Amino acid sequence: MQTLVKKWFKDKGYGFLQNGSGPDIMVRKAELVNCTYLKVNSIVEFECYIEKQGLIAKKVSLSRKKNNLQNSARGSRTHPFGVMT
């Protein structure tokens, strides 16, 4: 999957990825591949899992693919996990 980084707490080592109108997806520093932190609005690729805490991103890496995710950040975007409650 691909999405944008919504928040990153560098001092705490975790952050959140956008998930359209659904719940944010948590990402931990330990799950980052070839980087040590994320910048807000960066495009990332990841695998999404459901855990006790909610949606968790794993194998998170910066995307090298060009797309229009950054342009759509202001609008609503539908994601496969956007309907989960």
Topology annotation, domain 2-62: OB fold (Dihydrolipoamide Acetyltransferase, E2P) (2.40.50)
pTM > 0.85:
no
Q: Could you report the per-residue pLDDT of 43-75, keeping only the tens digit for each?
A: 999 999 999 989 999 999 999 876 656 555 555
Question: Residues of the chain with pLDDT > 70: what percent?
Answer: 76
**CB-based contact 21:82 (threshold 8 Å):** yes
Pull the structure tokens for residue 47. 């695998």
Q: How long a stretch of residues is the chain?
A: 85
Amino acid letter at 82? G
Domain coordinates of the chain in residue numbers?
Answer: 2-62
